[in-house]
Structure 1
Amino acid sequence: MISVTGAHAQPSLRPGDLRFVGRRRELDLLLGPLRRPPAVVLVEGEAGIGKSRLLREAAAVLRGENRLVLTGSCHPLREPLPYGPLVDALQRAVPDLPATPLPSATGALARLLPALAPHLPPAPPVSPDPRTARRELVQAVGSLLATLAPAVLVVDDAHWIDPDSRDLLLLLARDLPDRLGLVVGYRAEDLPPDTPVLGAAYRHPPGTGGSLLRLGPLGRAEVRDLATAALGRPATPALTSALFRRSEGLPLVVEEDLATLREHGGPLGAPEAAARLRAAGVPRGLDEAVLERWSRLSPDGRAVVEAAAVLAAPAVESVVCAVAGLDPDRGAEGLVEALRTAVLHESGGHQYAFRRGLARQAVYRRIPGPRRARLHARAVAELERRGPAPLVQIARHTLALGDRQGWLARAREAADHAFAAGDCAAAASLLRQVLRRPEADAGLRAHAASLLARVVVGGTDGDADTALLRQTLTDPALPVAVRGEIRLALGLLQASTTAGTAGLREIAAAADDLAGSPERAARALIALALDESDGPAANRAWLERAELAVRGTPEGVEAAAVRATRLTLLAWRADPAVWAQLECLPRSGPDLAVLQQTARALHNVGDAAADLGHDGRAAALAAEAVRVAQLSHYPVVELHAQVGLLRSDVLAGRWEGLAERFEALAEAHPAAAVIRAESLLFLGVRAAAQGQRARAVEYFERAADEGRRRHTLSVATRAAAGLVSVALARGAADEAWAIAQPALARLRRAEAWPKAAGLVAAAVESALQAGERAVAERLVEEVGRGLAGRDAPAAAADLALAHGLLLEAEEPAAAAERSEAARRGWQEIGRPQPSARAAEFQARAAARTCPEQAADPLAAAIDGYAALGATADLARCRRTQRQLGLVRPAATGRRGYGRQLSPREREVAALLARHATNQEIADALFLSTRTVEQHVAKVLKKLGAKRGSIATALERLAEQPK
């Protein structure tokens, strides 16, 4: 949560105060033609989309390139001043006029621009022919601008342009002077009917460049950057989501909302921010833009728009017209008018609605109360008349009419229907409202709480509902079975997010409360069976109790849940029978709840497959889980499976852009612990490979914290393996062994050696370096017994490497063979990083007897690390190459690179771009800090950049032609 101290410490924001974010592509598209004049660029976008800001940024860039930029704006006047934007722009040219006399044609500007008159030649006689006078004026403007060239004329808000200026711009654009650029910004929806922005169709003449640039809304990442710029510190994912959801990416709304938050001060967590913004209503800028268009509508047009505001959902023409109280002909005319002015838009399927939710609010709050009530009543009557009746909408209109008891009945019916149809979001929204109504009776509250508990478990963000359900638990009238449902939901939420142990205790209590309903109790027993730290015997005992509870019941969701859990436990034990059984699960069918259990099984088995080393299967199962979860409306499994797909890319070495993909998913689901854990593990692996050890330790420790709160072992095991590896890289063997021991103990208690890949070899190496050879030997024997008969190729490859480490000192040839076997295993699995690591160990062992035999595996390791961008690992192998005499110096001597970066300087630059310190660079590249300082100085000089802008400088360098 971010806090601000208040308005006295945070000055008000004004337009343009914030850093320019996003729009880099649009800015480049705008600047490109203007740098190669003549060019005409039209910039189109709705109100508040950021046209004017983009034009200001472009003007600033062009002025920095010594181009004159003259800007004029149009205004929403009843009778616009003739040539107003041109007068506005050209009178700014006085300071830039040349000392030499201006062309005689410019004299025609004297009457239009009195400020320029002293600098102009004599004005020609006034022509009685308007067309001649207009042609003279066009020539005068063109001559003046040609004299000032290179120059750019910018006309903003051209939807308000006067007819004379529009005609002049069209004639000018059709015959633009050679070194002149013309930019016109406008809203298409506010142009006069059937009129292009320049008054007539415009095509670029031969030799004139340009484009039509249509601006769309900002993305979530750009909203985050905008909020960060306003706050002066990183915006949280929760705040970003609140701003993005409300603004729908409209920059005007984001800026005004940020100004509101800053002026009020206080905490800026998502709930607090959302509440304050709701209280703030519609941002003034958007409200004024809507009012401006609203005021131009006819009475029938307003009636249609009011009906759409009350309906608050896309509706077909007949519904909109009926609610508006208009006959079909008048209603159609009003609807066409609302569409033409872009107050409404067609949302698909011949349905009509507001494009922006806030625009709807702006209209809704202007409808007088009595008329609003009549519109809601008409909406209820019209929607009930249609089939199937949209129950959620009818319930909302009933509440708006003040019929609270009627609303409670309709809300229950709508929630039940939405839940049955798989629309959990709509169901949850209604159920929350019911539980917060004091007039809801005990029976209705119990029903709503029970159903909300089921809904929450399948969602991706239960934080808001957790507090409400806990409050409901305090109701002494709550039936025991409902109490059990709520406890089960709360326990499942805790177990899957941040408090696994506490969640399991809650689930155990829920199992007792649900004893009278064996089928529901089975759900709690299933959850207890998935506590991996209990070990397989306890897991099987809980599962057997669940099977007993559903025995004899009709085949349904509970039986499907038991079956999915059985498959999960088989996968945990690396039992090869799981694959055939998994194929028997239904992938389609009418029962969505059963399909949800299929999706759960696909994800759980796929997740275990990634631990075991069946990487191809893991990726395929994750993709299938996403599909089935979408089909069955199961967002929590869909999210976990999406994370599984990202993990597959991590394992396969597809690291490019992966951090950004994790970040985007985290911003969309800020409360999802699974994203956080997998992202931290990836960032730790990448940082360690690039020699950023302190950062890697930070990531792995945070991932370990996540893992300790879980009732499964994968995250904690992988985090421990990462910490052990980093400690070994620092030469801290005792520390590495101390980290490894508790992680090994957890695996031992759980009999989970098939999931030990990555930890065993690192633990053996740390034990050997710490002088614990006998312990290392016993560990290898124990793991070997634990893998007997198991289908766990990753653990088998890791164990082969551990064997090689044990043999390295006394039997190096045998050690090289074992390391080669590990390398082949990792290659078959498809993991380039551990494959390269095994090749490096193979080379190290081979070098003990014959350095030349290390050449091939060492080259393979170098190729693997280079493909991953593993800078530190690559530098370590190259140093080994030099030490073994496997690199021959070039006969022609060292190559000179001039102003280009040398390969070493590129490595340094890449680490600088990731904010590595000089010491981290030295550790990564096996250099002295003095040498690093020299390389850093050369990099900064060659790139012409400061240390903090290296990433941007490298991006520019990559875009340059080779």
Structure 2
Amino acid sequence: MTSAAVSPTMVGRQSQLARVREAYEAAADGEFRAVVLGGEAGVGKTRLLRELGASIGDEAHVLFGQCVDLGDVAAPYAPVTSALRELAGRLGAERLLDAAGPGRILLSALLPELAAGETGEAGDAVRIVDSGGRLHEAVAVLLESVSAERPVVLVVEDLHWVDGSTLALLRFLLRSLAGRVLLVLSYRSEDVGRGHPVRAFLSESDRLRAVDRWELSRLTRGQVRKQMRAITGRTPTDAVLDRVFRRSDGVPFFVEELLDCDDSVPETLRELLLGRYERLSDEAQALLRLVSTGGVRVSHAALAEVFDGPADALDAGAREAVAAGVLVVDGDDYVFRHALVREAVLDDLLPGERARFHARYAAYFERAAEAGRRVAAEISFHWMGAHDAEKAFPATIDAMRQARDAYAYATAGALGERALELWDRVGEPASIAEMSRIVLFSRTAAHLDKAGESARARALLERAIEECAPDDPQLPRLLRDLSRYTYDGNQQRVELLERSLEYLPPGTDDMLRTTVIAELAGRLMVASRYDEALALADEAVELGLRSDAPRYSSVAANIRGVTRAHARGEIDEAFADLARAREYAGSDGAALLRYWVNASDLTHLVGRYEDALHLAEEGMRRAAEIGVARSSGTILMSNAAEPLLELGRLDEARQLVDRAIGMDPPVTYRVYLESCSLWLAIWTGDLAGARELLDNRPATARRIAVDESQVRHPLLRARIELALAEGDPGGALTHAQAAADDLAAPDGSLRSQEAGHTLPLVWAMTRAVRAVRGADERGAGGRAGAVASSGADASGADAALTAVEAVARRVLAGTASWPTHGVWAPMAAAELAGDAPAFRAAIDAAESELAPAHLMPYALLQLARALLAAGERREGRTVLGRARETAAEIGLGLLVAEADAMGHAAGGIGAAAAGADASGADAGSAADAGRRAAASTPDPLAELTARERQVLDLVAEGLSNRQIGERLFISGKTASVHVSAILRKLGASTRTEAARLAAGPPARAG
């Protein structure tokens, strides 16, 4: 019998190793990278990753973790736990905890040995974020902090066996990690079929810039020859090579096994895999069957406990298996040299043998649990394998609780479902579980919802409600929870909460009643049932204070304040309520974050943009302090981005939005971030990007827009603005009519009273009206041509124009008390009037501190249009120059392009000419003199689009087309097209010459 035929050198993988090394070097330079490596069993994934670790050596922390095959419900976070435990051994517990920052207490969920002396927030205050968001962030912060001193390479193998909780963590890390970290994942491609959770994960990873995914191919005939020569030390004959290559299909592991078969050729794959095993003694084979039941990896301590013979017999059998190359020793563990061999041995077990072995492992893990180890998932798995429901059930309940305490909600939910399946197979299950079947339904549903499995959660709650007696005290809680897990319609959520409240008359379960009333108040506010919402919010505030539930008093005060502002225009009272919400929140993290979200949003809507930004940033700092900056904190990033847009700080807003979206926030937060992205794309002139964002909105986001006007109205506004920017006034009118229908009921009454959102929408509606009415003047084929895309005839267009204008005027009249009315009303009036005096009034309004920054260049541009149309060319050119200059300073590429087009259409007035006339208007200041001097020389960049200017800036930095593409999230080919256009427009023959033109002429001395 020969020993393991393993090649001393890796064959045929040098290019792949170089590819992973390239990713590592990029990560070591400070840019997070991830590699996702697939391939069939035996193709060499593990060997490649071990070679990677050896090539890196001590220059980085290289951490290995392996997913565990425990059937449908694996132990949560097993690969990450083992990797972090290895890191703790290197750094020491205290350094590891310090590196985790605010999430240090949460690491005890993964590494219980670190829990000693750690204290922190408890209960719901800790569990602010669903799906273990705080734990995810703690791991991210830990890896980034450690990587600041030395790069970190985290390798997670066998992703096809991953548990749901680990998969959720890896998804988070892929989207949110920064710093000098390389994440490497491997999976067996043939085991990731349709319906496997990893399949969707792989599709998501393909869309991430930082991720490089590929599959290892089989070896060629020449590479198999090299492998055989490296193993045997001699070149194989053609006949032997042909036989091995044909039977192995180029799979390196099979090549190694076939070389051990001498002249015999196994007929089947099973024979090949069991070849070494079957040549062992009966005692060694029995030992391997026992090891296979425990998994791919089994510790010596565990094996010694479950082995029923003397220690000498165990050592002899293990030594024989290692010598034969079936097992390898890794530290204190015995590991199958390949998982395929373990699976073949496991399949060779007799049913009775399998059950006995599982029972031995279960008993071993029960003893380990008594010693303080968290191994309930293993106990449950093995008792299930032993077909002992009476023992599997309590272990499953314990495993569910342990998974919940580790924020492993996907695992907890799956274990809860297993416990429900076992419920009728055991005696007195309620006594064992210390809960009723209805409560188990409820808790399992909660875990599934937190894991993102809302459909499964709803199905369980619906079953529980069907089984619930009308007088069951759990029924109102189930109805409330079902409303929380229902995301498809606000009205359905209202009805469920109203049903719940019917079972909670005053004086019964005040705590639960407080939560139901507070949540119903919020849902009624969203439904614009403001009077009912206010009444319930009043009750919830008082009930929460009486019930010692200040969190819910804070939430209710929050809702009351927002409702007062939007429904009644009671701004001072609203902010007083928000101040009370902050007071009631105390140190409650969830309530405080809700305060900062609503306070910053309302402050923004009333036009106090600097204050809104400071509030949002204050909330972001608090979110970082409690470890939720990348989860719950992303909504505050949206609330910070919006005032940045209004202040004209577009680059800062874009960076914030891109960073937040990259963290993969919940869809309810993402819709607000994408609204900012849409605004940026339109107003900076990236119309193709804006169209893509609009056309590819997910179904969930569309459903949210149906219920929430604060999502729907910005979306309607964006549709109008994009149609206008694309030169489609008919399309803009169609969207404006949809907006009018949304704002006004058939009986003529106004539906929405949320002035902060409706006023900008009304302005966009009036822009559409003006665009259609002015189509003749701009040569767009007349009004009929302008409305052709909407399918309306002339009379239909007139009716639509009249209806849209009427609704706009009524909304403006009804929102006069809103603080920003004095900005938006003159802007809308100017659109409807369309003359120079009206736009002069709009410019006056745009000078207000309450006016968003983009309104000034827009109003100037429209005044210039009106002046040029009236023949006032000199003043028109002057105003046009001011408009273009102001738009360019902010970065409003849409308006810059429109100003250039207007100048050319008016008789060759380009950017330079417009700037020259503008500077002539005020000859008194040195700044104006400087502008005159600059304008006297034609601007070589005037012909470039906003995107081409971005590309030119990166060319000046020396970036290649591929690097430009990565920076701007476009392909290298698209970057090349932009560079070619830049060279043509500038008359430059090289990239260097273009960069010099971008820098401008050298300054003259003196």
> Which residue, 674, 696, 717 being the options, matches 2:713?
717
Aligned CA distance change for structure 1 residues 215 and 662 (closer, same or farther; 3 Å): same
1:137 corresponds to which residue?
Answer: none
Query: Which AA in structure 2 matches 1:751?
Result: Q
Whether the aligned pair in 1 keeps the contact of 2:631 and 2:663 (CA below 8 Å) is no
Aligned CA distance change for structure 1 residues 458 and 695 (closer, same or farther; 3 Å): closer
2:441 equivalent to 1:444: no
Separation (CA, whole Å) in 1 of partners of 2:846 and 2:576 = 29
Aligned CA distance change for structure 1 residues 445 and 21 (closer, same or farther; 3 Å): farther
| Secondary structure of the corresponding residue to residue 408 of structure 1 | helix
Query: Which AA in structure 1 matches 2:617?
Result: A
Q: CA deviation at 1:525?
A: 1.9
2:887 corresponds to which residue?
Answer: 862
Separation (CA, whole Å) in 2 of partners of 1:478 and 1:355 = 56
Aligned CA distance change for structure 1 residues 550 and 345 (closer, same or farther; 3 Å): farther
Query: Which AA in structure 2 matches 1:821?
Result: E
Computed over aligned residues only, the root mean square deviation of the Cα atoms, in angstroms, reads 6.6
2:669 equivalent to 1:679: no
Aligned CA distance change for structure 1 residues 569 and 760 (closer, same or farther; 3 Å): same
> Which residue, 415, 432, 435 being the options, matches 2:420?
435
> Which residue, 247, 253, 261 being the options, matches 2:187?
253
1:79 corresponds to which residue?
Answer: none
Taking structure 1 as the reference length, the TM-score comes to 0.55
Query: Which AA in structure 1 matches 2:846?
Result: E
> Which residue, 486, 508, 513 being the options, matches 2:498?
508
2:146 corresponds to which residue?
Answer: none
Aligned CA distance change for structure 1 residues 186 and 472 (closer, same or farther; 3 Å): closer
Separation (CA, whole Å) in 1 of partners of 2:672 and 2:341 = 40
Query: Which AA in structure 1 matches 2:887?
Result: I
Whether the aligned pair in 2 keeps the contact of 1:599 and 1:629 (CA below 8 Å) is no
Q: CA deviation at 1:540?
A: 0.7
Q: CA deviation at 1:501?
A: 1.9
Aligned CA distance change for structure 1 residues 624 and 512 (closer, same or farther; 3 Å): farther
% identity of equivalent residues: 13
| Secondary structure of the corresponding residue to residue 436 of structure 2 | helix
Q: CA deviation at 1:488?
A: 1.7
How many residue pairs end up in the alignment? 682
2:796 corresponds to which residue?
Answer: none
2:738 equivalent to 1:739: yes
Separation (CA, whole Å) in 2 of partners of 1:46 and 1:725 = 38
Aligned CA distance change for structure 1 residues 749 and 618 (closer, same or farther; 3 Å): farther
Aligned CA distance change for structure 1 residues 894 and 304 (closer, same or farther; 3 Å): farther
> Which residue, 369, 372, 378 being the options, matches 1:386?
372
Aligned CA distance change for structure 1 residues 218 and 567 (closer, same or farther; 3 Å): farther
Q: CA deviation at 1:714?
A: 0.8
Whether the aligned pair in 2 keeps the contact of 1:219 and 1:249 (CA below 8 Å) is no
Whether the aligned pair in 2 keeps the contact of 1:398 and 1:406 (CA below 8 Å) is yes
2:950 equivalent to 1:950: no
Aligned CA distance change for structure 1 residues 257 and 310 (closer, same or farther; 3 Å): closer
| Secondary structure of the corresponding residue to residue 824 of structure 2 | helix
Aligned CA distance change for structure 1 residues 740 and 844 (closer, same or farther; 3 Å): farther
**How far does the alpha carbon of each residue in 1:78-113 deviate from its partner, in whole angstroms, 9 at most, with x for none?**
xxxxxxxxxxxxxxxxxxxxxxxxxxxxxxxxxxxx
Aligned CA distance change for structure 1 residues 540 and 800 (closer, same or farther; 3 Å): same
Separation (CA, whole Å) in 1 of partners of 2:940 and 2:393 = 80
**How far does the alpha carbon of each residue in 1:369-411 deviate from its partner, in whole angstroms, 9 at most, with x for none?**
3444323311110221227x66556555554554423443344
Q: Which runs of 5+ in 2 are unaligned?
A: 1-14, 27-32, 60-150, 161-166, 176-181, 205-217, 219-247, 258-272, 774-800, 914-933, 953-960, 983-989, 996-1006
Taking structure 2 as the reference length, the TM-score comes to 0.53
Whether the aligned pair in 2 keeps the contact of 1:491 and 1:506 (CA below 8 Å) is yes
> What pairs up with 1:121-136 in 2 under 5 angstroms?
none
> What pairs up with 1:153-232 in 2 under 5 angstroms?
187-188=50-51
> What pairs up with 1:440-839 in 2 under 5 angstroms?
441=429, 444-455=436-447, 460-475=452-467, 480-494=472-486, 497-515=487-505, 516-530=508-522, 531=524, 532-547=526-541, 549-550=543-544, 552-555=546-549, 558-559=552-553, 561-563=555-557, 565-566=559-560, 569=563, 574=571, 575-578=574-577, 580-584=579-583, 588=587, 594-609=588-603, 611=605, 614=609, 615-617=612-614, 619-620=616-617, 623-624=620-621, 626-627=623-624, 630=627, 637=632, 640=635, 653-654=650-651, 664-665=662-663, 672=667, 674-675=669-670, 678-679=673-674, 682-683=677-678, 686=681, 689-692=685-688, 695=692, 698=695, 705-710=702-707, 712-729=708-725, 730-732=728-730, 734-745=733-744, 748-767=750-769, 769=773, 770=801, 776-785=808-817, 787=818, 797-799=823-825, 801-805=827-831, 809=835, 811-812=837-838, 814-821=840-847, 824-826=849-851, 833=854, 836-838=857-859
Separation (CA, whole Å) in 1 of partners of 2:600 and 2:521 = 18
2:360 corresponds to which residue?
Answer: 374
| Secondary structure of the corresponding residue to residue 253 of structure 1 | strand
Aligned CA distance change for structure 1 residues 355 and 796 (closer, same or farther; 3 Å): farther
| Secondary structure of the corresponding residue to residue 815 of structure 2 | helix
Whether the aligned pair in 1 keeps the contact of 2:668 and 2:701 (CA below 8 Å) is no
Whether the aligned pair in 2 keeps the contact of 1:415 and 1:428 (CA below 8 Å) is yes
Whether the aligned pair in 1 keeps the contact of 2:720 and 2:765 (CA below 8 Å) is yes
Separation (CA, whole Å) in 1 of partners of 2:840 and 2:346 = 81
| Secondary structure of the corresponding residue to residue 718 of structure 1 | helix
Q: CA deviation at 1:910?
A: 8.5
Q: CA deviation at 1:553?
A: 2.0
**How far does the alpha carbon of each residue in 1:17-40 deviate from its partner, in whole angstroms, 9 at most, with x for none?**
xxx999978669999xxxxxxxxx
The more displaced of 619-628 and 539-548 is: 619-628
> What pairs up with 1:917-932 in 2 under 5 angstroms?
none
Whether the aligned pair in 2 keeps the contact of 1:394 and 1:410 (CA below 8 Å) is yes
2:390 equivalent to 1:405: yes
Whether the aligned pair in 1 keeps the contact of 2:544 and 2:553 (CA below 8 Å) is yes
**How far does the alpha carbon of each residue in 1:129-178 deviate from its partner, in whole angstroms, 9 at most, with x for none?**
xxxxxxxxxxxxxxxxxxxxxxxxxxx9998xxxxxxxxxxxxxxxxxxx
| Secondary structure of the corresponding residue to residue 756 of structure 1 | helix
Aligned CA distance change for structure 1 residues 526 and 555 (closer, same or farther; 3 Å): closer
Aligned CA distance change for structure 1 residues 906 and 641 (closer, same or farther; 3 Å): closer
2:787 corresponds to which residue?
Answer: none
Query: Which AA in structure 1 matches 2:589?
Result: L
Separation (CA, whole Å) in 2 of partners of 1:422 and 1:820 = 50
Aligned CA distance change for structure 1 residues 863 and 519 (closer, same or farther; 3 Å): same
Q: CA deviation at 1:882?
A: 3.6
Q: CA deviation at 1:876?
A: 0.9
Q: CA deviation at 1:858?
A: 1.0
**How far does the alpha carbon of each residue in 1:219-269 deviate from its partner, in whole angstroms, 9 at most, with x for none?**
99x99xxxxxxxxxxxxx99x979x99xx98786364346x549x9xx988
Q: CA deviation at 1:535?
A: 3.9
Aligned CA distance change for structure 1 residues 509 and 905 (closer, same or farther; 3 Å): closer
| Secondary structure of the corresponding residue to residue 360 of structure 2 | helix
> Which residue, 902, 912, 920 being the options, matches 1:880?
902
Whether the aligned pair in 2 keeps the contact of 1:415 and 1:427 (CA below 8 Å) is yes
Query: Which AA in structure 2 matches 1:576?
Result: F
Separation (CA, whole Å) in 2 of partners of 1:249 and 1:290 = 29
Q: CA deviation at 1:713?
A: 1.6
| Secondary structure of the corresponding residue to residue 498 of structure 1 | coil
Whether the aligned pair in 1 keeps the contact of 2:585 and 2:591 (CA below 8 Å) is no
Whether the aligned pair in 1 keeps the contact of 2:759 and 2:824 (CA below 8 Å) is yes
